[in-house]
Amino acid sequence: MPHCPDCDSERTVKNGHIQTGKQRYLCRNCGRQFVKNPTNKVIDTPTRELIDWLLLERIPMAGIAGAVQVSEQWLQDYVTRLCQR
Ligand SMILES: [Zn+2]
């Protein structure tokens, strides 16, 4: 099991999957849910389409970032690029 990114505890358990099919984990020490290496990954087209749809639904960016496991910074940059099209 991966260590918790927040508290570095080894007490992590599998906790279902996110929409993109990646394994999600739950830290039993601090309660944090996380996905292995969610940042700096290439965001694939289905995920981008999901993000586009969530943005249209006026879901708050923090909610989208949590739902599709991208960083809020990445999402902010993505929205900025969309607006420049
Ligand atoms: Zn933790």
Domain count, the chain: 2
pLDDT score recorded for residue 82: 83
Residue 55 has pLDDT above 90, yes or no: yes
Residue 8 has pLDDT above 90, yes or no: no
Distance CA 54, CA 61 (A): 9
Residue 29 has pLDDT above 90, yes or no: yes
- 38 CA from centroid of ligand 1 (Å): 16
Distance CA 82, CA 77 (A): 9
Residue 51 sits in the same domain as residue 32: no
| Higher-scoring residue by pLDDT: 7, 85 | 7
pLDDT band at 49 (very low <50, low <70, confident <90, very high): very high
Residue 37 has pLDDT above 80, yes or no: no
Residue 28 sits in the same domain as residue 57: no
Residue 1 sits in the same domain as residue 31: yes
CA angle, residues 21, 24, 29, in degrees to nearest 5: 180
Query: What would the two tokens of residue 72 be?
Result: 């809020």
Residue 50 sits in the same domain as residue 26: no
For residue 10, the enclosing domain spans 1-36
Enumerate residues 6+ apart whose C-beta is below 8 A from 8: none
Residue 50 sits in the same domain as residue 31: no
- 71 CA from centroid of ligand 1 (Å): 18
Residue 56 sits in the same domain as residue 78: yes
